Structure 1
Amino acid sequence: MQRRRFLSQSLLTAGASVFAGANVFAGKKTNNYSGGIFAEKPFNLNYGFHDGMFKNAAGPDFIDQIKYGYDMGFRSIEDNGMPGRTPDMQKKIGDTLAKLGMQMGVFVLNKGGNGANTLAAGKPEYVEIFLKGCRDAVEVSKRCNGKLATVVPGDFERNLTMGIQTGNVIEALKRGADILEKENIIMVLEPLSDTPNLFLRFSDQTYMICKGVGSPSCKILFDMYHMQKNEGNIITNMDKAWSEIAYLQIGDNPGRKEPTTGEMNYKNIFKHIHEKGYKGVLGMEHGNSMPGKEGEAKLIAAYRESDNFLS
């Protein structure tokens, strides 16, 4: 018991060096997935990593990274580029997740709206591109068992008033929801901070659009990095939009790296999310603050520290 307590404290206080030094874990249980170290327990919340996050420790193959992530205590992934993978690889990822008892988070709905075909314009050809993306998402979902697809409506259409643009977006999303609802797939609308040209930027705006669409297949992706940049007041604004939020993403600000690297108090945020009873995936939509294996170890230690809100 004393040894287990010592190891847990070491993960929090020694950071990357703990993970880099394999001798610290001498004698700990290993498994048949990646040959890595079996984490003492999964995290309190369900964090989902992405391809490349553990490439130095596990190698370039995403399947090996998934197995390594499982060893480290993670129980989900997200994969924005899933629609661009071969059908065989999509199925292989889905089968691996099923075998490990892991969840699939979001993938980005292919051609689901961008600056070149914004839904705010209301143009039939743009809407059809979006609807094709919805139909494609159904097939991707069947292979990888992913039930969440990220949608960004696109840029402002500056020659139209805000009300008309909003109406155009709602009508297009209603048609997409008609396709996805039959398959129990949820498109999650993501307000972003990348450029002021983007039509969707704030949580209250996204909440209003979801209420307008009125479908269980149209909800909010609340990316805390983007929302910190655009509006701040993360916990309060999350609570106000909570009934329409289906997915959360993480990234500290500034820098868009793992928790503990910026100004955001993720330990308190994670505690609040846990107390609300959230059982979904929290996508790790950020980079690593340091390169190499040490950076990957530092990231894992940061999540252990931030997730340690029940003690």
Structure 2
Amino acid sequence: DMATAVAEAVRMTARVKKKRSRFLVPATINPEHYEVIQTYTEPAEIELEKVDFNAETGLMDVSDLESKMDDVAGVYLENPSHLGFIETQVNEIDRIVHENDALLVAGVDILSLGVLKPPGQYGADIVVAEGQHLGSPVSYGGPLLGVFGCINERKLIYQLPGRLVGMTRTEHEPQETGYVLTLSPREQHIRREKATSNICSNQALAAVTAAVYLSLLGPSGIHQLGETIAFNSNYVASQLNGIEGVLAPALGESIWKEFVVRFDNGVTAQDVHEFLLRQGLHGGRILNHDFPSLGESMLFSVTEIHTKKTMDELVNTIRDVVEGGAK
């Protein structure tokens, strides 16, 4: 999944930058992803450190980033971020990272790339993503599918985790296309203890599903889907922001799919969550524990599957509990 893809990317940067043992991540990173990264990096003796963020915009504190670049193998950047805001300083972050001879790892939402700048255009060396929403059903949280890629440089390609399949063709006419495992650095193969990864191959079915989904959408479909999601999420955020005592988005100026909602009038995020459940609505993720500085807040996500009726129902239900004191 994306969590292990990020963790594999961190270890990959340390293998490429052999004399460096530190890696920087944004303080707004998905807490579950951070825990997985810790699990992967502790045996490799890679030191993790978080980079501060602006309390109002959520953007990475580039001054803090610049001050922490000593002995850094790589820097992780999420765009859109886990908390929904769009990181607008990508070119500045790219400059700082590469001026210090480190690698830039970008975590993206694939469907956002129909409307947002692709990571290759702001200098990312390694790209990771979650592929679950590329046609796979929501089945109790799965199946998940990690997406992993890097720039076309041999020193990086040779350190890729998992397997790399190459395409070739037969020597004589009529030439036919063939596929072969070009790089197999897993411990199940000849690498054994020198393997770069022990990643498994049971995501093959989900990968085929993702390929079919993307081929059916095509470039124009992905662009249209990205625009629809952006319109729906911004519509809900603006409607919620019109409720007295509610701030949406509470972090950042530009959002795509997710956004933070804060309740400032004495109503707790837990109150809102429980009331929504009683009305048959599953609200956003409560952020109080993982991001206490955000106050009574929740992380909402609006996509193309939400109709105007369901979006208005969510807004009106939150208005009932916030303004009317509904229980």
With normalisation by structure 2, the TM-score equals 0.31
* Structure possessing the higher radius of gyration over alpha carbons: 2
Bigger relative CO (Cα 8 Å, ≥ 6 apart): 1
* Structure 1 or 2: more helix by fraction: 1
With normalisation by structure 1, the TM-score equals 0.32
